Amino acid sequence: MKLKLILGLTLAVLLSACGKEQAATDGTAASEPAQTFKWKLVTSWPKNFPGLGTGPEKFSKMVNEMSAGRLQVKVYGAGQLVPALEVFDAVSRGTAEMGHSGAYYWKGKSPASQFFTTVPFGLTAQEMHGWIHYGGGLEIWQELYAPFNLIPLAGGNTGVQMGGWFNKEINSMDDLKGLKMRMPGLGGEVLQRAGGTPVTLPGAELFTALQTGAIDATEWVGPYNDLAFGLHKAAKFYYYPGWHEPGSMMEFTVNKQAFEKLPKDLQAIVKVASRAVNQDMLDEYTARNNHALKELVGKHNVQLRAYPEDVLAKLRDLSEEVVKEVSEKDAMTKKVYESYKTYKDNVQEYHSITEQAFLNARSK
């Protein structure tokens, strides 16, 4: 009996030791619960606004599920924690761990930031994603944001946008002169070169500004979002195409210190979830825009208009001038521009015999 007791105690000790060794090898301890991280994510959009606002919400849900609750992200709409156009600074200084916005809002920080949202007559959504993830765009973007204590990630794309809302027809370049229009980024600089006055306003202020005459015209995104804001109640002419925003990419920004505090698996979850939201947003806009356009035209009697060919040709010429001039402002902007242009030239050459050729053939 004594021998059995000694053998039993010895076996229990050995099993206990093996369990501790296994826990040490796995880097886990059954008695110690996994650390939980709680992040704030501030955005430039109204809370739960279709597409732009629901993207961050999907990200939050995805991260919570994939991490089994170890990383919890609370989303704040524009103005709930910080103003819409202060997302960049809030994440940079650590007021929030993450942000969701458009990089062209930060041209005052660096002119090069605008290339990471869109360029007039530039890359489509599909091409933009290719440049970012396989054409060197992400690496140079990370380099650009590093001095601001930020890590950038692609966070959605709206596809080719609409040209904007006007209360008068645009028949020539003269109709753009003196026009006060909400148009951020490089597109706004082109508008200014054409004689207009660009204004940068957050989305939530557009309807009131247009209705009261504070601005004469506005662009926003496309039918899905424009219908949600009720812009058809403040202007009757709806122009296409969105020459100024052919594939506008949104961004997630992550505070560098907050990211580095995460274990490797949670860092990977943040990256994978942002990549998923980036594609999901484009899918949603592609599916919903045409339905919304039919409602705008068929139900609300919006006057759909195409920009005249000569107006588009002149805007294209002005865009080339503006983008080239902006690229010469500093060494970093030149570096971004050269990467962007090299990729654009290559992908445009290939797409002329694939995407563009097929669309031309399909339309006949």
Does 18 score more than 80 pLDDT?
no
At residue 19 the predicted structure's pLDDT band, cuts being 50, 70 and 90, is: very low
pTM (2 decimals)? 0.89
pLDDT in tens, 33-49: 789 999 999 999 999 99
Check for a shared fold between 37-159+248-286 and 164-243+301-362.
Answer: yes
User: Domain map of the chain by residue range?
Assistant: 37-159+248-286, 164-243+301-362
The pLDDT of 39-67, averaged and rounded, is: 97
Q: What is the mean pLDDT of residues 96-100?
A: 98
Cα 160 from chain centre: 13
In angstroms, the CA 332 to CA 337 distance is: 9
Give the model's confidence band at 202: pLDDT under 50 very low, under 70 low, under 90 confident, else very high. Answer: very high
> Cα–Cα distance between 276 and 270 in angstroms, integer?
10
104-151 pLDDT per residue, tens: 999 999 999 999 999 999 999 999 999 999 999 999 999 999 999 999
Cα separation, 252 vs 53, whole angstroms = 12
Give the pLDDT of residue 280. 98
Specify the DSSP element, H or E, that contains 253: strand 249-255
| Window from 26-35, 262-271, 281-290, 351-360 with minimum mean pLDDT | 26-35
* Cis-peptide, bond into residue 308, ω within 30° of zero: no
Architecture of domain 164-243+301-362 in CATH? 3-Layer(aba) Sandwich (3.40)
- Dihedral of alpha carbons 100, 101, 102, 105, sign: negative
pLDDT of residue 346 exceeding 70: yes
Phi and psi at residue 180, to the nearest 5°: -95, 110
37-159+248-286: what fold? D-Maltodextrin-Binding Protein; domain 2 (3.40.190)
Can you state the angle between helices 309-327 and 185-193, rounded to 10 degrees? 110
Give tens-digit pLDDT for 154-181.
999 999 999 999 999 999 999 999 999 9
Query: What pLDDT, on the 0 to 100 scale, is given for residue 34?
Result: 86
List Cβ neighbours of 310 (8 Å cut-off, separation of 6 or more). Answer: 172, 173
pLDDT tens digits along 322-345: 999 999 999 999 999 999 999 999
Q: What is the pLDDT of residue 32?
A: 63
